[in-house]
């Protein structure tokens, strides 16, 4: 009996450590300056890139430069620190921004965490953790977290049967140091202002996604005035999926399809509303079966309101 109690206690302690590590990992990715070489691999294809991540006050600058294949670079400048996870200022923690317990709770509610051991990634000691989803709307993640900085050094998304679907891994990384005082590059960049909207205050507009798997919340919604396209972004803090609803006019040109590449699934289906056919597409790092179910649950909100 004592042995069982000790064992349960040890597992509980291990879970706690795993939770804390993932929590620290998320925080590190939002607060640290780093520059590194990364590889991204899926279905036998390998890409190598250089990543720069700088944070100054409330501004984040991110840049990804492709090192193989056709030359290319993506630069992004964010003006708001409240994107994705709700963050709050904790008086006890001084000026250190922390994650909102509710939003971190979503990850805890959706995945079980398990420490798998120690590993070495990009020449650094790391702790490996597996995040197992608690339902079939998410995929398992195997991550390696830097023991020193808590940054995620490796992420492998697995299929529900445990087969690796994609691998993102640093092969070299520099954290802090000169990067902390380096001037923000003057490169022209996409300016991200959409996440200024407070989470939880957004609504899905004229469309309603009937099946939003537990733990996912609406992160952004927009409607393109030119095309009538509605885009709804959902996340559970780790996994994201995007819902696209095309206008009846655009839908006439889009075939229904199912697409699977690496960890990304895209499912496009048709729904009929008052005689018009609309295309609903779901794209995300989620199982295709789950994506199909979500797509089929989309209804026009105004129609739902009319129902008694």
Partner 1 sequence: MGQYDEHLGESLSALMDGEASDLDTRRVLKALASEDSHNAMQMRDKWRRYHSVSAVMKGDVASTIDYSEAIAHAIGNEVVFKTSPLAKILNSSGRFAIAASVALVAVLGVQQFNQSANLTDEAAEFAYIDETSVEGVVGPANQFPAGWALSEKTQVRTVSAESVEKKAYSQQEGRAYLAYVLAKHASNAPYIRNQGMLPYARLEDRKTRTDQE
Residues numbered 283-302 forming contacts with partner 1, rule: CB under 8 A: 283-284
Q: Residues 62 to 91: which contact partner 1 by CB under 8 A? A: 62, 64, 66, 69-76, 83-85
**Should residue 114 be labelled a site residue for partner 1 when binding is judged by CB under 8 A?**
no
- Cα separation, 55 vs 184, whole angstroms: 8
Among the residue ranges 60-68, 108-116, 131-139, 298-306, the one whose residues contact partner 1 (CB under 8 A): 60-68
What minimum distance in Å lies between the beta carbon of 173 and partner 1?
A: 11
Q: Among residues 107 and 212, whose Cβ is nearest to partner 1?
A: 107
* Spatial contact of 49 and 66, defined as CB atoms under 8 Å apart: yes
**Should residue 195 be labelled a site residue for partner 1 when binding is judged by CB under 8 A?**
yes
Among 58, 102, 125, 224, binds partner 1 (CB under 8 A): 224
Q: Among residues 19 and 40, whose Cβ is nearest to partner 1?
A: 40
Among 257, 276, 303, 304, binds partner 1 (CB under 8 A): 257
Among the residue ranges 114-122, 202-210, 277-285, 294-302, the one whose residues contact partner 1 (CB under 8 A): 277-285
- Cα separation, 75 vs 187, whole angstroms: 7
Among 2, 162, 253, 306, binds partner 1 (CB under 8 A): 253
SS (H, E, C) the chain: CHHHHHHHHHHHHHHHHHHHHHHHHHHHHHHCCEEEEEEEEECCEEEEEEEEEEEECCEEEEEEEECCCCCCEEEEEECCCCCCCCEEECHHHCCCEEECHHHHHHHHHHEEEEEEEEEEECCEEEEEEEEEECCCCCCCEEEEEECCCCCEEEEEEECCCCCEEEEEEEEEEEECHHHHCCCCCCCCCEEECHHHCCCCCCCCCCEEECCCCCCCEEEEEEECCCCCCEEEEEECCCCEEEEEEECHHHHCCCCCEEEEECCEEEEEEEEEECCEEEEEEEEECCCHHHHHHHHHCEEEHHHHHHCC
**Should residue 156 be labelled a site residue for partner 1 when binding is judged by CB under 8 A?**
no
Among 37, 47, 112, 147, binds partner 1 (CB under 8 A): 47
Interface with partner 1: number of residues (CB under 8 A): 74
Among 100, 119, 260, 297, binds partner 1 (CB under 8 A): 260
Q: Residues 25 to 44: which contact partner 1 by CB under 8 A? A: 25-26, 29-30, 38, 40, 43
Q: Residues 119 to 148: which contact partner 1 by CB under 8 A? A: none
What minimum distance in Å lies between the beta carbon of 122 and partner 1?
A: 13
**Should residue 262 be labelled a site residue for partner 1 when binding is judged by CB under 8 A?**
yes
**Should residue 280 be labelled a site residue for partner 1 when binding is judged by CB under 8 A?**
no
Q: Among residues 2 and 225, whose Cβ is nearest to partner 1?
A: 225
What minimum distance in Å lies between the beta carbon of 256 and partner 1?
A: 4
φ and ψ at 19, to 5 degrees?
-60, -45
- Cα separation, 24 vs 18, whole angstroms: 10
Q: 73-78 and 190-192: which strand pairing? A: parallel
Among 17, 98, 179, 250, binds partner 1 (CB under 8 A): 250
**Should residue 174 be labelled a site residue for partner 1 when binding is judged by CB under 8 A?**
no
């Amino acid at each position: 009996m004592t042995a069982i109690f000790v064992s349960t206690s040890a597992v509980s302690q291990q879970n706690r450590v795993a939770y804390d590590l993932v929590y620290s990992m998320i925080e590190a990715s939002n607060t640290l300056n780093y520059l590194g070489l990364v590889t991204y691999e899926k279905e036998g294809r390998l890409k190598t890139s250089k990543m720069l991540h700088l944070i100054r006050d409330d501004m984040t600058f991110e840049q990804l430069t492709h090192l193989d294949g056709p030359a290319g670079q993506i630069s992004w400048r964010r003006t708001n620190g409240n994107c994705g996870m709700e963050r709050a200022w904790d008086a006890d923690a001084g000026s250190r921004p922390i994650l909102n317990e509710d939003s971190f709770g979503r990850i805890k509610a959706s995945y079980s965490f398990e420490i798998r051991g120690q590993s070495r990634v990009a020449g650094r000691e790391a702790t490996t953790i597996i995040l197992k989803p608690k339902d079939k709307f998410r995929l398992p993640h195997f991550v390696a977290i830097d023991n020193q900085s808590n940054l995620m050094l490796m992420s492998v998304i697995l299929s529900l049967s445990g087969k690796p679907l994609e691998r993102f891994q640093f092969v070299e990384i520099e954290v802090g140091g000169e990067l902390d005082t380096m001037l923000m590059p003057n490169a022209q960049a996409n300016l991200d202002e959409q996440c200024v909207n407070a989470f939880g205050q957004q609504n899905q507009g004229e469309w309603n996604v009937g099946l939003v798997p537990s733990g996912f919340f609406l992160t952004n919604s927009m409607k393109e005035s030119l095309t009538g396209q509605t885009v709804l972004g959902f996340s559970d803090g780790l996994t994201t999926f995007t819902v696209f609803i095309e206008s009846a006019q655009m839908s006439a040109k889009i075939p229904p399809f199912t697409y699977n590449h690496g960890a990304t699934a895209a499912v496009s289906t048709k729904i009929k509303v008052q005689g018009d056919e609309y295309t609903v597409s779901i794209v995300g790092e989620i199982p295709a079966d789950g994506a199909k179910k979500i797509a089929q649950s989309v209804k026009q909100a105004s129609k739902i309101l009319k129902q008694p």
